[in-house]
Amino acid sequence: MSEQLISGRLPVLALRGLAVFPDQTVHFDVGRIKSVKALEEAMKHDQNIMLAPQRDVVDDDPSLEDLHAIGTVARVKQVLHPQGENLRILVTGICRARIQELTQTEPFLAGQVQAVPETEVMDSTQAHALRREANNLYGLYCELLEHPAQAVQLKMLASSDCGFIADSIAQNSGIDYSEKLKLLTQLNPVKRLEMAVRFLRREIEMLKIETQIQEKTKVNIDQNQKDYYLREQIRVLKEELGEGDDVDEFADYEKNILKLKLPEESEKKLLKDLQRLKKQPFGSSEASVLRNYLDTVLELPWNVRTKERIDISAARRILDADHFGLEKVKQRILETLAVRKMAPEMPPQIICLVGPPGVGKTSVAYSIAHSLNRKMARIALGGVRDEAEIRGHRKTYVGAMPGRILTALIQAGSSNPLLLLDEIDKMGSDHRGDPSAALLEVLDAEQNRSFRDHYLEIPYDLSDVMFITTANTLDTVPRPLLDRMEVIELNSYTDEEKLMIGKNHLLPKQMKKHGIKKTQLRVTDDAIREIISCYTRESGVRKLERCFAEICRKTAMAILEQEDPKRITVTGSNLETYLGIRRYLPDRLPGSDQVGLVTGLAWTSVGGETLEVEVNVMEGSGKLELTGNLGDVMKESAHAALSYIRANALKLGIPADFYKTKDIHVHFPEGAVPKDGPSAGITVCTAMVSALTGISVRRDVAMTGEISLRGRVMAIGGLKEKTMAALRHGISTVIIPKDNERDLEEIDQTVRKALNFVVASHVDTVLETALNRRSEIPAAILTDIPDGVKSKARKPSIRQ
């Protein structure tokens, strides 16, 4: 095609990243102010404008030196005003031209333009071959690009101008901007077409490589996974270039796994899972599960240990500072530490601290951890019913996680911590399994070296972990589990121990917590004793601490309300001002000895209690009525007592046919409180004998013991708590089974000095001691009692 040569003064529009060729129609956006002004100037006249490509596309205000040597004179065909500040124009190139000089730079560029004619060449076979090659390559290019350009191809096929074909290829292909500028500068049509063919051939090769990359990535991916598609393209590109990411996620996983130096079986399993993770498509649920699993495994403290400190003297100081009393418990713990020091290779003993609420079981565990310099984690087992809570869930389940044991190890951050299994007696079981059975492996020193959590799936060594469990009672702890633990009992505090604990520990703690100084509040010993006896009824000291907190709150109010604050003194007489009316009245003995009324002793979860037994005998047909919310064991004890009385009625001075002519009603007051256990057997028997014979019972005598059909007095439990309850009640003599005589050594010295203890192996000794007047006792009883027992009955003595 022949070019129309245009010269003269024209407005100049600088192009960034774009080149326009003669006889080519192009649309592009115009946004710079000078470019818009130049466009407006062209539209006012003949619509011709000089399009000059910039050398540096970043330059926003180019000069003549910043423009390419050769540009294109074009005619503006159309101007559109879309939304926004830019204009969209359609232009057609006319001829190549060179800017001689810039005659104007403001408000737009304008210059003297000189058309540059092409070099004339003769048509030849080479030129014809070049045109054919160019057309074929451009057709292949359009096929690879999947972008039909039929109009352009038809014009190229119809033309015999090498320059036009070269310009069409440059304008309508994706060759680089720098290469387009070279084509724009080349004035020889044949040479320009040779360059265009060469550039186009290289562009086709690049398209083929891109197509191969796309085909490789499409084999393993879903078309809808756009993110994965892009990542796969990057990966394949890196493979083609021989480049790799030295520090990526998978390399970090592998490095951390090898750093753990696990046994071969475990290491092989983790590396296998890592290989599975590498093969997972991006965003798949399986990849998320594997990542969470590997993160959890690497988070475990496999080789992290704290240096254990076994100093008996330091441990004794820590225990004495944190806890008052509990001498037997402290001694037992120190013995355990001593064995640990003498035999470090021996697995740590599993200790079970058993006692009523509030006596310091959990705080003792914290003191042990402090003295050993071990990190500690607490696992609350109260209400746990699912075996998976201990062993974890298999990772195939949604939301799976490791069990509480491994979670506690992660929390502690050490492989040799002290784990406190709190409230082990309050675990349950249902259709999901029995968590106590899962604990059998955890608490067995021979098995926990290779503990397998369902989530972890590889063995973990728990042999260095020191386990301490707590419980309020052992009745609900399975026997196999109990067999694995060393039981240490923490008994109820005596009133004197509570006084010292409250005075030296709890009251200063609450005063500091409430911001009260020692000069602002004083609580007398009498007031503390009143709080213990009339406001709290517990084995531990939790309610006592809450009472101190209430006193501190009211003291703070009183101090702030006074203009001239004075020291507040709390005594037994003004205690109700701070704590309200007394919740519990002091236990009082009956005013006189009564028939059929006997004081027994009972153990509860909050300590010992006195338990009165009332018996009435009425004319009837021999019925036995038992009331007071009694359990089956206690009812059986009452029947056993009645059977003994029937078998020995004549010896006891009771009519032999009383079980036919008399109705007996046995009642335990406070019927809302459930009662059970066999230890009230001798109490019921004594009350029945008293009611049937009319002999009164000494009101200062209390008793506890199980009775057999032969009248034997059998051993009971909870003697320490029961004797403290007897002392609070004002009892002076306590009858206990002969088999419990050895337990007197564990009773507080204050209680032992205040009470007389009578040991009995047979119910005859109980009757001899408890019935009030010897003149009322049938002679048959005294003749059948052994001499040694008679002497005991005449003068009760302390059995130590």
pLDDT at 416 over 50: yes
CA atoms within 13 A of residue 673's CA, in its CB half-sphere: 12
Structure tokens given for 754: 């205040």
Range in 278-282, 631-635, 732-736 with the lowest mean pLDDT: 278-282
Average pLDDT over residues 440-451: 82
pLDDT at 26 over 70: yes
User: What's the pLDDT tens digit per position in 529-579?
Assistant: 889 888 887 778 888 899 999 999 999 888 888 877 788 888 888 888 888
HEC profile of 766-783: HHHHHECCHHHCCHHHHH
3-state secondary structure at position 679: coil
Percent of the chain with pLDDT over 90: 13
User: What's the pLDDT tens digit per position in 234-254?
Assistant: 667 656 665 455 346 778 888
pLDDT at 528 over 80: yes
Which string of DSSP letters, residue by residue, matches 113-171?
EEE-PPPP----HHHHHHHHHHHHHHHHHHHHHT---HHHHHHHHH---HHHHHHHHHH
Which string of DSSP letters, residue by residue, matches 242-290?
T---SS-HHHHHHHHHHHH---HHHHHHHHHHHHHHHHSPTT-HHHHHH
The band of 586, judged by pLDDT with boundaries at 50, 70 and 90, is low
Amino acid 218: pLDDT: 67
pLDDT at 130 over 70: yes
Amino acid 398: pLDDT: 78
Distance CA(403)–CA(391), nearest Å, equals 5
Distance of CA 10 to CAs 30, 89, 95, 155, Å?
17, 17, 13, 30
Amino acid 766: pLDDT: 92
Strand-by-strand arrangement of the 733-737 sheet: 624-627, 662-667, 607-619, 597-604, 701-703, 733-737, 756-760
Amino acid 605: pLDDT: 65
Cite the active site residues. 679, 722
Residue pair 142/148 in contact (Cβ under 8 Å)? The answer is yes
Average pLDDT over residues 121-144: 83
Structure tokens given for 571: 């005594």
pLDDT at 799 over 80: no
Distance CA(575)–CA(526), nearest Å, equals 10
pLDDT at 791 over 60: no
Distance CA(243)–CA(630), nearest Å, equals 83
Tracing tokens 């009030």 back to the chain, one arrives at 772
Q: Of 494, 531, 767, whose CA–CA distance to 645 is shortest?
A: 767
What is the chain's mean pLDDT, rounded? 82
pLDDT at 647 over 70: yes
Distance CA(36)–CA(289), nearest Å, equals 58
Average pLDDT over residues 779-797: 38
Helices of type H across 666-742: 681-693, 719-729
Amino acid 428: pLDDT: 77
Range in 6-20, 274-288, 472-486 with the lowest mean pLDDT: 274-288
Structure tokens given for 492: 């109820």
Amino acid 390: pLDDT: 84
Tell whether the torsion through CA atoms of 545, 547, 550 and 552 is positive or negative: negative
User: What's the pLDDT tens digit per position in 657-690?
Assistant: 888 888 999 999 887 778 888 889 999 999 999 9
Average pLDDT over residues 468-484: 86
Helices of type H across 305-434: 312-322, 327-342, 361-372, 388-391, 404-412
The band of 402, judged by pLDDT with boundaries at 50, 70 and 90, is confident
Amino acid 248: pLDDT: 67
Query: Dihedral through CA 300, CA 303, CA 307, CA 308, nearest 10?
Result: 70
- Tell me the pTM: 0.57
Tracing tokens 């926003």 back to the chain, one arrives at 60
Amino acid letter at 159? Answer: S
Amino acid 222: pLDDT: 56
Percent of the chain with pLDDT over 70: 91
Residue pair 342/335 in contact (Cβ under 8 Å)? The answer is no
pLDDT at 293 over 80: yes
Average pLDDT over residues 428-449: 79
Structure tokens given for 539: 């084995």
| Buried residues in 650-679 as b, exposed as e (16+ CB within 10 A) | eebbbeeebbeebebbbbbeeeeeebebbb
Structure tokens given for 183: 């084509």
Amino acid 63: pLDDT: 84
Q: CB under 8 Å to 2, separation ≥6 — which residues?
A: none
